[in-house]
């Protein structure tokens, strides 16, 4: 069996090496939607800032969903690591 390393995020099932450093256990009393939202937003925020730091010639990020949970998380992360961020809020 072959294992995926860092892909498969949109698949319904994935085979992951149980010794992988990208896996962690979720308590049984945490429902799956809560677990997913607690994982997806932080990883998205981290990924966006990682890509920003790895890209040459950039000046900042534009956040077009600043009032969302992800937008607020991205705002805090950018403030913490000093990335210029333009926040756009609808209404």
Q: Can you read off the two tokens belonging to residue 9?
A: 């995020």
| Structure confidence at residue 8 (pLDDT) | 59
| Structure confidence at residue 7 (pLDDT) | 58
Flag whether the pTM goes above 0.75: no
| Structure confidence at residue 58 (pLDDT) | 92
Q: Coil, strand or helix: which one is 45?
A: helix
Match 């966006």 to its residue by tokens. Answer: 48
| Structure confidence at residue 39 (pLDDT) | 75
Q: Tell me the CB-side half-sphere exposure of residue 48, using CA atoms within 13 A.
A: 21
Q: Which residues of the chain have pLDDT under 50?
A: 1-4
| Structure confidence at residue 57 (pLDDT) | 92
With 0-12 / 13-18 / 19 or more C-beta atoms within 10 angstroms meaning exposed / middle / buried, residue 78 is: buried
Strand partners, 15: none
| Structure confidence at residue 80 (pLDDT) | 95
Say if CB 56 and CB 82 are below 8 A apart: no
Match 């896996």 to its residue by tokens. Answer: 23
CB atoms closer than 10 angstroms to residue 44: 13
Q: What percent of the chain has pLDDT over 70?
A: 88
């Amino acid at each position: 069996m072959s294992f995926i390393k860092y892909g498969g995020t949109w698949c319904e099932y994935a085979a992951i090496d149980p010794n992988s450093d990208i896996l962690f256990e979720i308590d049984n009393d945490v429902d799956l939607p809560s677990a997913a939202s607690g994982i997806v937003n932080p990883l998205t925020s981290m990924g966006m800032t990682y890509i920003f730091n790895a890209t040459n010639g950039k000046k900042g990020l534009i956040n077009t969903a600043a009032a969302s949970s992800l937008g607020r998380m991205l705002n805090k992360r950018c403030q913490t690591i000093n990335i210029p961020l333009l926040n756009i809020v609808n209404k």
